[in-house]
Amino acid sequence: MYIRKEPGPLFITLPDGRKLSRSDLPPKDTSRWVARRKARVVMAVVGGLITPKEACNLYDLSTDELDSWCIAAKKHGTAALRATALQKYRQL
């Protein structure tokens, strides 16, 4: 039996010591993006678990949308990924 190995690492270790693997990522058919799911995708991209191109293809995101998530999370933390906090953290 052949087991398909995904490219890249099997898991990454987050700054708080937890491990994040591909199985922890949101499902491919996610349509409702809450801050927790966005944060997992951002952590996976920043940590090198998946590439930005792979994330965009997997979740049907534009590169601009993914970049905005990454920038918001880097500057303000996961609270900036909430849709209700968009105006509070919006860059002019």
**pLDDT by residue (tens digit) across 25-49?**
999 999 899 999 999 999 999 999 9
Q: How many domains, the chain?
A: 1
Query: What pLDDT does 92 receive?
Result: 43
Q: What is the pTM of this model?
A: 0.84
Q: Is residue 6 classed exposed, middle or buried when 0-12, 13-18 and 19+ CB atoms within 10 A define those classes?
A: exposed
Domain encompassing residue 59:
33-92
CA–CA separation, 14 and 89 (whole Å): 24
Checking if the pLDDT of 21 tops 80, the result is yes
Task: Check which CATH number belongs to the domain holding 81 and give it.
Answer: 1.10.10.10
Residues 75-86 pLDDT 10s: 888 888 988 766
In a domain? residue 52 = yes
Residue 48 lies inside a defined structural domain of this protein: yes
Indicate whether 91 pLDDT > 70: no
pLDDT at 4: 64
For the beta carbon of residue 15, count every other beta carbon within 10 angstroms.
Answer: 7
Q: Is residue 79 part of a domain?
A: yes
In a domain, 80, yes or no: yes
Q: Does residue 75 belong to any structural domain of this protein?
A: yes
- 72 found inside a domain: yes
